[in-house]
Chain A
Amino acid sequence: MSRDAAPARGARTHRTTAGSRWRGWLRHHRAMCLDSARRLLVHPLGSLMTMLAIAIALVLPAGLWLTLDSARLLDAELEQSATLTLYLEHGIGEDEARRLEATVAAEAGVAGTRLVTAAEGMAEFQQALGLSDALHRLDENPLPASIVVRPRDPSPEVVRAQAERLGELAGIDEVRLDLAWLERLRHLAALGQRVILALGVLFGLGVLLVVGNTIRLAVENRRQEIEVVTLIGATHAFVRRPFLYSGAWFGLGGGLLACGLLVLGRDWLSAPVTALAASYGANFRLPALGMEGSAILLACSTLLGWLGAWITVSRHLAGIRPR
């Protein structure tokens, strides 16, 4: 009516109308943001339970993800220690061995070399096994000299090709490379990643359901209000807004609790984990979430809460028709 019947009043009036509408929109956002927070505080225990349910759903995938992330760091460190050992043929003197080392060092893709002479090899062997007496009884040193090669690119495919190439050099008896366990670790990491992704999706759905159920109850409780405001010209966006803010608050609260739980869990586990790693001679520490991780977790949880509310409210609004 008046909208269509209103005479054209020129650009100035129109601009102020748009401006005031924009301010009205912002005002309603602010009001609903505060109002939905206030409603959460009216039932603190119920709100806390919902947030806790969300937090529990978030902690498991987040914790696993952190563990995997630190395992990947460990993996990188291990790759740095991946080496090739070239055993030289018996009877090769120390001079020739040094010449061979120089040849190997000049090869492409070799980051560094170390020559272990037969005598040094024997000394390392004795030290490692504590068999000095038994070995002393041997007439001659049965160990060959060897060259330890540190490859520039530690990825298994490259190292394997390099091993083949180096094995063909004259004077090299055998090439040893220990990649199997590295590859196993890599497969494990890939498996872990998929498991965590699947868990993340499942538990994310769990968060949607938790928020959805809570919001569904809130919508039922405010059914009459929704009917009335729809009758007097509220848009769907207007009706949805307070519930979306509630969902986002639930998500944010759940995310904060999850961060807290992760910190607690890290404190709880860090001492035994460090001790365990130390017993393997590794310097491994449980990872912390950090600022960035916390921000990502909170953003995800808030978004999930908002999305859960959006799905539920949209589904229910279609079913609410003013009498």
Chain B
Amino acid sequence: MIAFEHVGKRYGGRFEALANLDFRVRRGEMVFLTGHSGAGKSSLLRLIMRLERPTRGRVLVAGHDIDRLHPTQVPFYRRQIGVVFQDHQLLFDRSIFHNVALPLEIQGIEPREAARRVRAALDKVGLLHREKALPIELSGGEQQRVGIARAVVNKPALLLADEPTGNLDPQLSADIMTLFEDFHRIGTTVMIASHDLALITRLRHRTLRLHDGRLVADEEAA
């Protein structure tokens, strides 16, 4: 599903964020990405989302070199990836329902079909009863679940998450991870960047460990 071939990324010609990354993620796999802050986890995810382009090597997603995508194709590429952010990136001037509906609105999905899918996604994260609420009325954990609902409403084949449990207490973090495992179970490729080592160790999935932009360990689930 994802293949990094000797990928390097420099910022401003000097700072080397990522160096010689070489790994593959199979379709349907669930992978943790870990390392100290500044190790390059976010840069790696940004490369997959094509928010950045590698300065060396190739990034292949579903067999396509995404560096070769024409700028006009990039939005259509991004629609096939669900992304969950640490700070949720919700729009605070619209309801939970409309936040989750946003990806479908962008794709011009017919409203009735969109409403059906939004409710299914909200139901999955246990927030169907809050669809009319505004994000500000929700707790941090609930906001993150809205972010997850928005990421999966489109049924993406690839789900990326950048520190999805960063601001949550251990119990809520565990709940969120359980949600990701559910999506992994139905065949979605899931990649989660996190520095919550205790949680990662407990969950037993493949773990890529970055240190100063280099891949220092690739541990299969024990």
B72: chain A residues within 8 A (beta carbon): 235
Alpha-carbon separation in the docked complex, A44 to B62 (Å): 50
Which listed residue (B89, B90, B103, B158) contacts A233, Cβ 8 A? B103
Instruction: With A20-B108, A28-B108 as known contacts, state yes or no: A228 contacts B89, CB within 8 Å.
Output: yes
Instruction: With A1-B62, A25-B108, A27-B108 as known contacts, state yes or no: A228 contacts B76, CB within 8 Å.
Output: no
B-facing mask of A209-238, CB < 8 A → 1, else 0?
000000000000000110111111111101
B157: chain A residues within 8 A (beta carbon): 1-2
* A43 is an interface residue with CB less than 8 A from chain B: no
Instruction: With A225-B91, A233-B76 as known contacts, state yes or no: A21 contacts B108, CB within 8 Å.
Output: yes
Which listed residue (A1, A24, A27, A234) contacts B75, Cβ 8 A? A234
Alpha-carbon separation in the docked complex, A5 to B157 (Å): 12
B111: chain A residues within 8 A (beta carbon): 27
* A265 is an interface residue with CB less than 8 A from chain B: no
* A322 is an interface residue with CB less than 8 A from chain B: yes
Number of interface residues of B (CB under 8 A): 29
Alpha-carbon separation in the docked complex, A309 to B102 (Å): 23
* A321 is an interface residue with CB less than 8 A from chain B: yes
Contact B110 A1 (CB under 8 A): no
Contact B108 A228 (CB under 8 A): no
* B24 is an interface residue with CB less than 8 A from chain A: no
- Which bucket holds chain A's interface residue count? 20 to 34
* A4 is an interface residue with CB less than 8 A from chain B: yes
A27: chain B residues within 8 A (beta carbon): 108, 111
* A12 is an interface residue with CB less than 8 A from chain B: no
* B203 is an interface residue with CB less than 8 A from chain A: no
Contact A233 B75 (CB under 8 A): yes
Q: Which residue of B lies closest to A25 (CB)?
A: B108
A225: chain B residues within 8 A (beta carbon): 91, 93
Q: Which of B60-82 contact A (CB under 8 A)?
A: 61-62, 64, 72, 75-80
* A3 is an interface residue with CB less than 8 A from chain B: yes
19 sampled A-B residue pairs with Cβ under 8 A: A1-B61, A1-B64, A1-B80, A1-B158, A2-B80, A4-B62, A23-B108, A24-B108, A27-B108, A27-B111, A228-B89, A229-B102, A232-B78, A232-B83, A233-B75, A233-B76, A233-B77, A233-B79, A321-B51
